[in-house]
Structure 1
Amino acid sequence: MDRYQAMTTFVRVVETGSFSAAARQLHVGQPAVSKIVAQLESRLQVSLLIRSTHGLTPTEAGQAFYERARNALLEADEAELAARGAGSGLSGRLRVSAATTFARLHIIPRLPAFLDAHPQLDVDILLDDRMIDLVAEGVDISLRMGALADSSAVARKLATGKRSVLATPAYLARAGMPLVPADLADHTAIVYSQLPNVWSFHRDGSAVSVSVAGRLRVSAAEGLRAAILADMGLTITSDWMFAPELESGAVTRLLPAWSLPDIDLWAVFPTGRMMTAKARQFADFVQGLME
């Protein structure tokens, strides 16, 4: 039995909670995963997993083995990278999750430079605006914007961006130009369902909150972009989401004398794992892009 393969398989089973999920991440059949775990238990002469209708949970011995095996695998990756030398690049597979629009505009078009620097590395990018379970999905690094819901998350701030009220010139020609935040209450807002519909503005130490409304709510930034570019209304979003249109003048930034809270871009790593060299270097790459 290949000890490295056995440890890798067992770690994936514990982190995903099932043989089938581990098999999908390892690109093998479920019977192969079950067989490897059974061989491992036979070799160690101890039960590593408790199997029930609710899934798989490690025994006390299984938890101890998982923690040591996980750290050993990470140390092996780091040792291999050090032995090859930093100049030879990364290898293996890196799983990244990111918001769809942000990745489409800012990451994927500039990814060739990262791939060229690491020809032995494969990158899987999961595009999803929702917060996903990094461990269950086998994600090494997640790019997230805004406040972090989990205060215990292992995270690193990569950049800080500006938020603005945006609309197209065609919408403004039809609906008029808002001059103060209170004017927004009379406008049609495209509401992003993942954010509150009360917008808070600041100027000269004072704050103003405005409730906005509109007939259209969207759950993803791609829908928000499409609605704004179709001249359907105005919205608050990060400038990152409309970077090409702000540069070309296809959208207009409104209420420039008033400021909105900035938005942070974070690299988030799975809780309970050591940060891998691959994840760390990808975070460095993204931070460099956003500077």
Structure 2
Amino acid sequence: MDTIRSLHFFVRAVELGSFSAVAREQNTTQPTVSKVLAALEDDLGVRLLERSTASLSATAQGRRFYERAKAVLDEYAEAVADVRGEGAASSGLLRVNAPVALGQFSLNSFVQDFLRRYPAMEVELILNDRMVDMVEEGMDVVLRHGRDLPQNAVARRVGSSPRWLVASPAYLRRHPAPRQPQELVQHNYIRYAWSGGSTVVLRNGEREVTVQTQGRYRVNNALAIRDSLLQGSGIALCPAWLVHDLVAARQLRHVMPKWCGEAQELHLLYPSRRYQPARARMFIEQLQLWLQKMPGME
């Protein structure tokens, strides 16, 4: 049995969730993948995968074996690169997870530049707004907003973005801009659908006020909020990274600029396992430098 090949098939089966996806990626057939993994289970004497017509998932033993197998493959790849005289950090696959809006609006361009610089690298960028299980879902690097972070990961704060009240000139012609925080209740406030209640906390230096808002539209995507603002649909409290370009182009106006919301913090997360691939460390270091220069990020 080709152990390295078997481990690679197993790791990718866990990450992709199907034999057919592994077969397509590895340019082979689904029966071949199934046969290789069945042989691996026979050799170990342990059932690693639960199979059904609709899904594929790792067993409890399989999840533990997955983490060890992934580390073995990472070390093997670096050993091969080292003996060939290649840069171990600049080859291999990285799985990266990030919020949808940040990924589409900004992070995707960084990844494209990263891939151009390192032609032996591969990146899977998975965008969603839920907190992923880094080990179970095989993520090397995760970007997350806010402070509610998992306990089983190493978190590195890489920046924060002030939240501004913004609206389009067209909207403000129909609804004069608020001059005091309490006047916000008179406006159509667009908010993130899962943000909780309708109150907003605003700060002006040491002063802090909680104001009531009302609005007819809630949406669970920051890019949709950005687009709605451009259409003149209302007023919203947005992180500067999301709207700085529109404010600079005068397509949106920064309303009550002395008042802002709580800054949106950004963290880099990675698994708290002892071994971390050199390529992941390199990616994290470069991403952190890029984020520090990102407009709207402090």
Q: What's the TM-score once normalised by structure 1's chain length?
A: 0.82
Distance change >3 Å, CA 84–CA 124, structure 1 → 2:
same
Larger mean CA deviation between 251-260 and 274-283 belongs to: 274-283
Deviation at 1:215, TM superposition (A): 0.8
> 1:248 is matched with which residue?
249
CA distance in 1 between partners of 2:88 and 2:149 (Å): 37
CA distance in 1 between partners of 2:13 and 2:87 (Å): 33
> 1:231 is matched with which residue?
232
2:265 aligned with 1:264: yes
> 2:164 is matched with which residue?
164
Q: Which whole-Å deviations, capped at 9, do the CAs of 1:57-84 have from their partners, x for residues lacking one?
A: 5476x66654543332232234345556
Contact 1:185/1:210 (8 A) holds in 2: yes
SS of structure 2 residue aligned to 1:162: strand
SS of structure 1 residue aligned to 2:142: strand
Contact 1:158/1:267 (8 A) holds in 2: yes
Distance change >3 Å, CA 177–CA 74, structure 1 → 2:
same
SS of structure 2 residue aligned to 1:262: strand
Contact 1:90/1:121 (8 A) holds in 2: yes
CA distance in 1 between partners of 2:49 and 2:191 (Å): 46
Equivalent residue runs for 1:1-291 within 5 Å: 1-13=1-13, 29-44=29-44, 46-49=45-48, 51=50, 57-58=58-59, 65-80=65-80, 82-83=82-83, 90-135=90-135, 137-196=137-196, 197-270=198-271, 274-291=275-292
Where structure 2 has 5 or more consecutive residues not aligned to the other structure, the ranges are 293-298
Contact 1:89/1:119 (8 A) holds in 2: no
Contact 1:166/1:234 (8 A) holds in 2: yes
Deviation at 1:218, TM superposition (A): 1.0
Matched residue type, 1:98: A
Deviation at 1:286, TM superposition (A): 2.3
CA RMSD of aligned residues (A): 3.2
SS of structure 2 residue aligned to 1:143: strand
Distance change >3 Å, CA 250–CA 64, structure 1 → 2:
closer
CA distance in 1 between partners of 2:101 and 2:119 (Å): 26
Matched residue type, 1:239: A
Distance change >3 Å, CA 23–CA 262, structure 1 → 2:
farther
Distance change >3 Å, CA 288–CA 71, structure 1 → 2:
same
Matched residue type, 2:115: L
| Number of positions where the alignment pairs a residue of Structure 1 with one of Structure 2 | 289
Distance change >3 Å, CA 93–CA 7, structure 1 → 2:
same
Contact 1:170/1:231 (8 A) holds in 2: yes
In percent, how many aligned pairs have the same letter? 34
Larger mean CA deviation between 240-249 and 19-28 belongs to: 19-28
Deviation at 1:13, TM superposition (A): 4.6
Matched residue type, 2:277: T
SS of structure 2 residue aligned to 1:38: helix
Q: What's the TM-score once normalised by structure 2's chain length?
A: 0.81
Deviation at 1:22, TM superposition (A): 6.2
CA distance in 2 between partners of 1:171 and 1:274 (Å): 53
Where structure 1 has 5 or more consecutive residues not aligned to the other structure, the ranges are none
CA distance in 2 between partners of 1:94 and 1:27 (Å): 20
Contact 1:16/1:138 (8 A) holds in 2: no
CA distance in 1 between partners of 2:67 and 2:85 (Å): 27
